[in-house]
Amino acid sequence: MTHDVALTDLLARAADHLSFEPPGEGDPTADPRGDHDLDGADDAVVPGPLHRRAAVLVPVLPRATGPSVLFTVRAAHLRDHSGQIAFPGGKIDADDPTPADAALREAREEVGLTADAIRVLGYLDPYLSATGFLVVPVLGLVDPEARLNLNPDEVAATFEVPLAHLLDRTQRRIESAEWRGRRRRYYVTLYGPYRIWGVTAGILNNLQERLYP
């Protein structure tokens, strides 16, 4: 994969390949991606249909060296996924008009990014976690001057990774581990001391599939 990613090209690809409407029933992208894709048709175990709905913001920041993606490190005291690398996001509330609204709300609550600092570029494919969350990723362009205000109850730290690194297939691998009595396979991307894996890495793989096939 190229080591140079232009912001103008990213915006053009998003305009061509992403929708501003969330995928609904019958939409081709309503058939969710997930780590089960890595198991093969004969071995895939897809979580049941009573999915819990969630949304995340995939925040892209323009930088002089090229676009970068913002990640959070979840607080160590959280009950679920403590210390893991994630995108800002969480459960979709009943009063969230759209998944994008939920993702923007969560970004404000977790890292202090306000909606007026984010330009929504469209929806990636829903991603079904092994724990039954149906996660709708929202790609967003963030004002590089926006200031972060981390909520320590949820986020321990943030960091950025160049988009070019995330799109470099040589930096992505598939690992496996025993989980609930079966071997589970998942994507992993390393960047310095950070290990990006699971749903977050799967969403990044889908971003590449949709925008940079």
Taking the C-alpha atoms of residue 68 and residue 65, their distance in angstroms, rounded to an integer, is: 9
- DSSP-derived letter for residue 20 is S
Nearest 5°: the CA angle 188, 137, 166 is 35
Closest CA to 55 of 13, 14, 97: 97
Q: Are 59 and 161 in contact (CB under 8 A)?
A: no
Give 133-148 pLDDT, tens digit per residue.
789 999 999 999 999 9
Q: Are 52 and 134 in contact (CB under 8 A)?
A: yes
For residue 185, pLDDT beyond 60: yes
Q: Give the pLDDT band of residue 82 (cuts 50, 70, 90).
A: very low
Residue 76, Cβ neighbours under 10 Å: how many?
Answer: 8
Which residues are 118's β-sheet partners?
Answer: 142
For residue 204, pLDDT beyond 80: yes
Q: Where is pLDDT greater, at 129 or 96?
A: 96
pTM over 0.95: no
> How much is the mean pLDDT over the chain?
85
